[in-house]
Amino acid sequence: MKLRDLTELAGRNLREALLRNSLTTLGIAVGVASLVAMTSLGVGLQEMASSRLAKSGLFDAVFVVSQANQRRFGGPRRDDSTPKGPSRRLDETARQDLAKLPNVTEVYPEMRFQTEIQYDGKPYGTTAAGIVQSAQADGAFDNMKGTFFSSGSASEAILQVELAKDLSKDPDSLIGKDVILRYAEKQPIPSQPAARLNGKGAASDASEDNEFGPSGGDGLSAGFSIVPREMTLHIIGIVETEPAAGFGGLGRGRLLIPMETAQKLRASQPGDMRELLRGVNGKPVYETLTVRVKSPTNVKSVEDSIKSMGFGTFSIIDATKNIQLFFQVFDSLLFIFGSLALTVACLGIINTLAMAILERRREIGVLKALGAQDSDVRKLFFAEAGVMGIVGGIFGVFFGWLIGRALTFGTNVYLTRQQLPTIDLSRVPWWMVLAAIAISFVVSLAAGIYPASRAAQLNPVEALRYE
């Protein structure tokens, strides 16, 4: 049987039982729509998570800690995270060395300290943090109210919305006003020659090496005094979410100030006493350093270079492996649940074609009497099933896209009422469109195997006798 004759016969048969075939095709469309809607939800959530992480600047960042701090923070214990060089102190010299590495754009410390602010004559305890100018591209600042810092050394502040609500019932009214920052300034005390006692109570040489090497002094490490200070900050913006940064993705703080301003404050840090006991001699030592690289593809090579310098490292690239595994499992579950409706649609195809065999027994007998082969009869039923599959797949993709848009619209209406930023909940890329139509076509052909085989096995003599 020629392809043209086969196409004409299939089209005529589909038109003769238009209502039944349309309902079957609609069933396929509903199944494909369910599959597309569920899968697009998983793809949308995955892309949203990836874009948020990318905008946060965490994908192109490497967090650096000393070996001692890596153990204290409970850092990664994988074999590839172990420093490959001698242990070093994470001080200003180390920061400058890290900045000289290839593909490194900037290196800055994690400045975060407990403080108190005064507004309208009332004190409020909070956490202040230094923010570099490049953080303006972070996703956390996309929907901020007000403006970003005018410079890295400006006496300006950005409030996290929860802190702003504590200060005023109308948070937006705080923009343009001033707050007083009260903090503890650390002032170094010149070191004094002295002997140190060893663990047995005997005096030991002051130049004895500590965990990080020679202390570099002739006596006790330099101490420091704490002096209360105040600084007036001009509020220029309010951010909805607390920007994430630091080792392990710790939050920066609720009061954000420019990084250079934060460093000039010389505010007391949580690890100051620990570093003093280690013999730091008044030199600044950092808890962590954030190394920004040119591209996420450079993270691995930069990490290896940093480890060879004797530091521990952590990057969000390591954590994304688990995130990707989660989304793969999540997408698989969505695909399985979405395929249930398509399975029901397959039963509808089998039922429709099986009924067509009973109604067209005489027609099949005439075709075989005129010389049609069993394969020609199979092709005829496969063609009908394939047409229903393709048409149902096209409409199903469209309906699935509409369902995704409806879910996104409803979700964004709720988020808007809660004064939260809107999101794109579902995504239907081209590969999903083509895959859905192809799956619909293949499943329809599979559903037509039994009816087509049954029709091909009909005896032409018995078929011609059928009334």
Together in a domain, 363 and 415: yes
Q: Is residue 87 a part of any domain in this protein?
A: no
Residue 168 domain-assigned (yes or no) = yes
Residue 99 lies in a domain: no
User: For the purposes of burial, counting CB atoms within 10 Å of the CB of 381, is it exposed (0-12), middle (13-18) or buried (19 or more)?
Assistant: buried
Domain interval for residue 350? 3-54+323-465
Domain end call among 263, 285, 307:
285
The span from the CA of 271 to the CA of 1, in Å, is 85
pLDDT of residue 462: 65
Give pLDDT, residue 235. Answer: 93
pLDDT confidence of residue 401? 92
391 is a domain residue? yes
Mean pLDDT, the chain, integer: 76
In a domain, 310, yes or no: no
Same domain (yes/no): 123, 228:
yes
Alpha-carbon distance of 458 to 368, in angstroms, equals 9
What is the number of structural domains in the chain?
2
- Asked if 173 and 269 sit in the same domain, the reply is yes
What confidence tens digit (pLDDT) does each residue in 234-284 have? 999 998 766 655 444 445 678 999 988 888 888 877 666 666 555 544 556
The pLDDT, as a whole number, for residue 273 is 60
For residue 78, being part of any structural domain is answered with no
The 3 state secondary structure assigned to the chain is CCHHHHHHHHHHHHHHCHHHHHHHHHHHHHHHHHHHHHHHHHHHHHHHHHHHHHHCCCCCEEEEECHHHHHHHCCCCCHHHCCCCCCCCCEHHHHHHHHCCCCEEEEEECCEEEEEEEECCEEEEEEEEEECHHHHHCHHHCCCEECCCCCCCCCEEEEEHHHHHHHCCCHHHHCCCEEEEEEEEEEEECCCCCCEECCCCCEECCCCCECCECCCCCCCCCEEEEEEEEEEEEEEEEECCCCECCCCCCECCCEEEEHHHHHHHCECCCCHHHHHHCCCCCCCECCCEEEEECCHHHHHHHHHHHHHCCCEEEEHHHHHHHHHHHHHHHHHHHHHHHHHHHHHHHHHHHHHHHHHHHHCHHHHHHHHHCCCCHHHHHHHHHHHHHHHHHHHHHHHHHHHHHHHHHHHHHHHHHHHHCCCCCCCCCCCCHHHHHHHHHHHHHHHHHHCHHHHHHHHCCCHHHHHHCC
Residues 220 and 336 in one domain: no
198 in any annotated domain:
yes
- Among 233, 256, 285, the domain-final residue is 285
On whether both 246 and 161 belong to a single domain, the answer is yes
Last residue of a domain, one of 268, 285, 302: 285
Q: What is the reported pLDDT for 56?
A: 58
Whether residues 279 and 141 share a domain: the answer is: yes
Say yes or no: 123 and 268 in one domain: yes
Same domain for 271 and 162: yes
- Same domain for 280 and 133: yes
pLDDT confidence of residue 395 = 92
275 lies in some domain: yes
Which parts of the chain have pLDDT scores under 50?
Answer: 73-79, 81, 194-221, 246-250, 280-281
Cβ contacts of 358-363, under 8 Å, gap ≥ 24: 359/17, 360/13, 361/458, 361/463, 361/466, 362/463, 362/464, 362/466, 362/467
Q: Identify whether residues 272 and 165 lie together within a single domain.
A: yes
172 and 42, same structural domain? no
- The verdict on 136 and 249 lying in the same domain is yes
Give the span between the Cα atoms of 91 and 286, in whole angstroms.
Answer: 6
Predicted pLDDT of residue 300:
84
